[in-house]
Copies of this chain bind each other. A is one copy, B any other.
Amino acid sequence: MLRITVWNENLHEKTDEKTRANHPNGLHETVADALREDPEFVVRTATLDDPDCGLTDEVLNETDVLFWWGHMGHGKVPDEVVERVYDHVMRGMGMVVLHSGHHSKIFRKLMGTPCNLTWHDHSRERVFVVNPGHPIAQGIPAHFEIPEEECYGEPFSIPEPDELVFLGWYNTGEVFRSGCCYRRGCGKIFYFQPGHETASSFFVPAVRQIYRNGARWAAPIMRSDVLMNAPHIQALEQVD
């Protein structure tokens, strides 16, 4: 059993008709549904509307992997919530950061870089697997199409990924590192570029499979406080 919390700012859904049409129960429920296709996953959701963003220590203690979607509301996430999520990642909680989550406070904090990129509105994207032995690529064809996506372009100011899994090709002439893996503290982080609020990417089977693969990859082996302290220790032995 893998316990997943899908977080979404849930703002576009309130003001944009196309987003609402795409995601009648909110984008978080769309992602959650894709995850629920795996019967071993127990999935809940949380949004900006919830007290404490729905991300209390209680919730995070019971979360193996946290999915994150945000865009226009990055600044509305309180710094205490960001710190709390960060602490849980350091202790082993996994994260899957989707699309415009690249600019969320938590992702920028984990990367230590601005995570800027270039972008424009409408593209057809083709996603290529560059690391076919990687668990997140399991069952994914050599390349697959996303009929409409927002184009994210290089340079993407991230640290060199620990593992690069996917590259995106756009018919509008750009490329992007679309699937990037990081290890930070005891936690693992997967960034995945598709997922514009008004695009149909969420319903592409390969995208949904990658959500599930990402969750399994990011899941912790265990949770540990070992990296959260800076203890004074006794010298282990004294040697002349």
Q: Is A24 on the interface with B (CB-CB < 8 A)?
A: no
**CB pair B167 A237 closer than 8 Å:** no
CA distance A170 to B110 in the complex (A): 31
Q: Is A34 on the interface with B (CB-CB < 8 A)?
A: no
Chain B residues with Cβ below 8 Å from A238 are 171-172
Tally A residues with Cβ within 8 Å of B: 75
Q: Is A159 on the interface with B (CB-CB < 8 A)?
A: yes
Also in contact, A154 and B128, with CB within 8 A (given A112-B184, A118-B230, A159-B183) = yes
Q: Is A66 on the interface with B (CB-CB < 8 A)?
A: no
Q: Is A236 on the interface with B (CB-CB < 8 A)?
A: yes
Main secondary structure of the interface of A (DSSP, over half): loop
Of A15-23, A38-46, A47-55, A218-226, the one touching chain B: A218-226
Chain B residues with Cβ below 8 Å from A239 are 124, 171-173, 237, 239-240
Residues of A within 8 A of B (CB): 90, 92, 103, 109-114, 116-120, 122-124, 126, 128-135, 138, 142-143, 151, 153-157, 159-160, 162-164, 167-175, 177, 182-187, 220-222, 224, 226-240
For the complex of A and B, 7 pairs with smallest distance between CB atoms? A133-B186, A173-B236, A172-B235, A171-B239, A157-B227, A112-B112, A116-B230
Also in contact, A116 and B232, with CB within 8 A (given A154-B130, A160-B162, A224-B133) = no
Also in contact, A112 and B109, with CB within 8 A (given A235-B151, A235-B172) = yes
